Chains A and B, each alone.
Chain A
Amino acid sequence: MADPAQGVLQRSVENDAIQKTGRRRWRPQWTARMALIPAMTITIVCFYGFIIWTFVISLTRSRLLPVYKFTGFDQYVRLFANERWWTSMQNLAIHGFLFIGGCMVFGYLLAILIDRRVKAEGMYRTIFMLPLSMSFIVTGVIWQWVMNPGLGLQEAVRALGWDSFEFNWIVRPDRAIYTLAIAGIWQQVGLCMALFLAGLRNIDPNIWKASRVDGIPVWRVYLHIITPMLRTVFFTVFILMSAIVMKAFDLVVALTGGGPGFSSDLPARFVVDHILNRQELGLGAAGAFVLLCTVIAVISPYIYFELKKERGGRGH
């Protein structure tokens, strides 16, 4: 009775029985459910569980280690009274506006240029997307050198004879934040270009034929006909770039280190700094949660449309 071989035999007989009675799909379905366990665990525990955990920590007075003595929303009060936090939020707004705007404008222009049936199109595309393959750390270090006030671009232009040329933004507290946008746009403009180009290539060629017959100048076709048609692409690019901006940590670390002072600090760096280095766990967690709320506010329309599209797609 306790013979294991007997058990195996018994089970295989049962399986045969299941298969013969037409319930054979039960077993693979069960395997499919098992296969989802690792990813499901990660999603539930490491994404949503940890978000809740971070929120709970933000309600405590935790400093070096988590202590579960609740102080209500004190950490949020402290956060919003914190000057560095406001600087970093303000910087996020400035950087976000310049970076997203710059990437979209230049990316769209480059896509239009390439869309005009140029020779060696592949070469330009490869060049424009080259920085994308590099790390933000690499980008930051390169641009820190290019913008070095002593030996970089400023000195190179002065050596050409323009003695009063000034480009020392990276060491100026009131300008350092703009250097982030320059390096960021350089890195990400290729992605915007690729997305816009894909959109342009999907435009019905008859629109071009019709506009040629009507004698409408090319720039007006782009401005008044093509651009409105690409609004979903613009929307997607905007969301993607926003997601990048709000996570921006590496670039600011490598390019300016948040400085001079905290003049080019960003919220993502504020959070990491308070959690890892400053033993202000509760405050960092509060910052992280505010950051998350900002992300949710921006991406929820996108997720909504993605899921709606999904539902519509299954209809036919």
Chain B
Amino acid sequence: MRYNRLALYGLLILAAIMIMAPVFIMISTSLKSMDEIRNGSIFALPADPGFAAWGKAWFGDCSQALGDQCGGLSSSFLTSVKIVIPALILSVGLGAITGYALAAWKMKWANVMFAALLVGMFIPPQVTLYPLIIMIRELGIFGSIPGLILVHVIWGVAFTTMMFRNFFKTVPEDLLKAARIDGAGFWRLFWHVMLPLSLPILGVAMILQFTYIWNDFLLGLTFGGRSGQPMTVALNNLVGSQFGEKEYNVDMAATMLTALPTLAVYLLSGRLFVRGIAAGAVKG
């Protein structure tokens, strides 16, 4: 029995080490100099840790600058922030209202529409990519931040609606009836009864949408153009197109910088993330 427990912990610790090793390698590589990387093992701790590579990843290298572009991630970080905040609020807000309307107001086509939305969550984005490009171009917002925000709202609404609708379905019918008898209309019922009830699910939806939008690559690549490049796209370009010798420490620092916001949200939100990820997994 004791050996069993020992083996159990042994396996768990082994698995934890295997999961953490790449993260450790990323951080330690970003703190090394290129000389140290060339001569040492990837598993070795940095002998003389420094943030030079982080600075270069963030600000770029202005000695090799083309025009006023130094190639750092700082500008695409700002772009990502400008995309993620409005897209987050709009997609979660629209999902909350739609989910509430579908769940609390009996309508003939509510279930058909919900099913249509549910299927929509599984459609690979590649399938509707080109028509979406044409639509965004016709609206005159292709290659800009508003364009990307709209695309993220379109792709996010199915998922946020599903979360809220499933939650609002669990609200007791009697509560809704009582509110209606008191004369609460659509919006009053939403603001004063349903939304306050849904605070936990609101948190879950916000956290997951933040993670999805921040981590998106395909939409940013397609719709961002030059001025709307989010951080993931900038990271991929940085890693893919370095002239001369590859600077792995800068690559890893840039990777770490891109991962930090979602990592921080994950570590701070803890249980909410875990709760939501199961429901949101379908979006992948």
Chain A residues with a Cβ under 8 A of chain B? 24-25, 27-29, 31-33, 35-36, 38-40, 42-44, 46-51, 53-54, 57, 66, 106, 110, 113-114, 116, 118, 124-138, 141-146, 148, 151-153, 155-156, 159-160, 186, 189-191, 194-195, 198, 240, 243-244, 246-247, 249-250, 253-254, 257, 268, 271-272, 275-276, 281, 284-285, 288-289, 291-292, 295, 299, 303, 306-307, 310
Contacts and interface: CB of A to CB of B under 8 A. Distances in A.
Contacts of A159: 41
B20 A127 contact: yes
A300 B107 CA distance: 25
B258 A135 contact: yes
30 contacts: A28-B186, A38-B98, A38-B157, A39-B94, A43-B120, A46-B128, A50-B128, A57-B130, A106-B15, A124-B15, A128-B15, A130-B263, A135-B216, A136-B217, A137-B258, A141-B255, A142-B23, A142-B26, A151-B37, A156-B41, A194-B278, A247-B125, A247-B126, A250-B218, A272-B222, A284-B130, A292-B124, A295-B122, A295-B124, A299-B122
A29 B105 CA distance: 7
Interface in B240-281: 240, 248, 251-252, 255, 258-259, 262-263, 265-267, 270, 273-274, 277-278, 281
A46 B151 CA distance: 10
A235 to B, nearest CB: 13
Interface residues of B, number: 92
B214 interface: yes
B12 A124 contact: yes
Contacts of A50: 127-128, 131-132
Contact of A135 (B102, B111, B187, B259): B259
Given A53-B131, A146-B22, 8 more contacts: A32-B107, A39-B94, A44-B116, A124-B15, A130-B19, A134-B259, A142-B23, A243-B284
A276 B284 contact: no
B111 A310 contact: yes
Nearest to B180: A25
Contact of A39 (B117, B123, B129, B183): B117
Interface of B: 8-9, 11-12, 15-16, 19-23, 25-26, 29, 37-38, 41-43, 94-95, 97-98, 100-102, 104-105, 107, 111, 113, 115-120, 122-132, 134-135, 153-154, 157-158, 161, 180, 183, 185-187, 189, 211, 214-218, 222, 232, 235-236, 239-240, 248, 251-252, 255, 258-259, 262-263, 265-267, 270, 273-274, 277-278, 281-282, 284
A130 B277 CA distance: 12
Binding site of A, secondary structure by majority: helix, strand, loop or mixed?
A: helix
Contacts of B22: 131, 142-143, 146, 186
Contact of B130 (A38, A136, A281): A281
A138 B277 contact: no
A250 to B, nearest CB: 4
Nearest to A32: B105
A133 B19 contact: no
Contact of B127 (A51, A129, A189, A310): A51
Contacts of A126: 267, 270
B38 A151 contact: yes
A268 B126 contact: yes
A205 B266 CA distance: 31
B124 A291 contact: yes
B123 A51 contact: yes
A272 B132 CA distance: 13
B43 A156 contact: yes
Most central of A116, A135, A146, A271 by chain B CB within 10 Å: A135
A206 B235 CA distance: 52
Contacts of A54: 127-128, 130-131
